[in-house]
């Protein structure tokens, strides 16, 4: 090894290393009262709040989310913008990739995040129940996701 390469070894040792991790969440869906604008009304809650919790992951993380439906109607969760290569059953599209989660039932979503940026999750229903899905979404079944970019990934510009 030539001495001129030694600084490269030290630089590699101090640069941030992206470590893929297993991120586990439980989202408990309930139907209760909420007063976001000062007026108490019934709405869907995710872990007791609406909108649901803000989820933060790192690019490359393995994600495992247990969704427990303690509400009053079947539901599925769709992860907008999340690539489901190799995990189509976790896309959350009832009638296409999964059955809706029945009342008092649960479903485990497992996937790896392969992209960075802001995404979001919402309820999803089959097309015969589009009115229910819109009402679930309007009534609080939604949340935000931020996927931090891999620090070792080359910058696009």
Query: Which CATH number do you get for residue 78?
Result: 2.60.40.420
- Determine, yes or no, domain membership for 69: yes
In this prediction, residue 41 has a pLDDT band, given cuts at 50, 70 and 90, of confident
- Determine, yes or no, domain membership for 53: yes
**Cα–Cα distance for residue pair 31/22, rounded to 1 Å:** 29
Mean pLDDT of 120-126: 79
Give 5's contacts (C-beta < 8 A, 6+ positions apart).
Answer: none
Mean pLDDT of 73-83: 90
pLDDT beyond 90 at 127: no
Highest mean pLDDT among 5-14, 19-28, 84-93, 123-132: 19-28
- Determine, yes or no, domain membership for 8: no
Closest residue by Cα to residue 116 from 155, 89, 64? 155
Longest dimension (CA), the chain: 72
pLDDT of residue 85: 87
In terms of residue numbers, what domain contains 140? 20-148
- Determine, yes or no, domain membership for 66: yes
How many structural domains does the chain have? 1
- Determine, yes or no, domain membership for 6: no
Supply the pTM of this predicted model: 0.80
Mean pLDDT of 125-147: 70
- Determine, yes or no, domain membership for 113: yes
**Cα–Cα distance for residue pair 24/22, rounded to 1 Å:** 6
- Determine, yes or no, domain membership for 143: yes
Give 151's contacts (C-beta < 8 A, 6+ positions apart).
Answer: 15, 16, 18
Give 87's contacts (C-beta < 8 A, 6+ positions apart).
Answer: 110, 111, 112
pLDDT of residue 37: 79
**Cα–Cα distance for residue pair 39/43, rounded to 1 Å:** 12
Give 90's contacts (C-beta < 8 A, 6+ positions apart).
Answer: 79, 84, 97, 109, 110, 111
Q: Please tell me whether the peptide bond between 73 and the residue prior to it is cis, using omega within 30 degrees of 0.
A: no
Tokens of 151: 């620090």
In this prediction, residue 132 has a pLDDT band, given cuts at 50, 70 and 90, of low
- Determine, yes or no, domain membership for 1: no
């Amino acid at each position: 090894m030539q001495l001129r390469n030694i600084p490269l070894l030290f630089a590699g040792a101090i640069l941030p290393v992206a470590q893929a991790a297993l991120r586990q969440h439980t989202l408990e869906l309930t139907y209760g009262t909420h007063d976001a604008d000062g007026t108490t009304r019934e709405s869907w809650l995710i872990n007791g709040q609406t909108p649901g919790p803000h989820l933060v992951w790192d690019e490359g993380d393995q994600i495992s989310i247990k969704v427990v439906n303690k509400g009053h109607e079947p539901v599925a969760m769709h992860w907008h913008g999340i690539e489901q290569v190799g995990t189509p059953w976790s896309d959350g599209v009832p009638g296409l990739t999964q059955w809706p989660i029945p009342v008092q039932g649960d479903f485990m979503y497992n996937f790896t995040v392969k992209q960075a940026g802001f995404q979001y999750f919402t309820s999803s229903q089959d097309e015969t129940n589009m009115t229910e899905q819109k009402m679930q979404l309007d009534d609080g079944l939604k949340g935000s996701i931020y996927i931090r970019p891999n620090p070792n990934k080359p910058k696009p510009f």
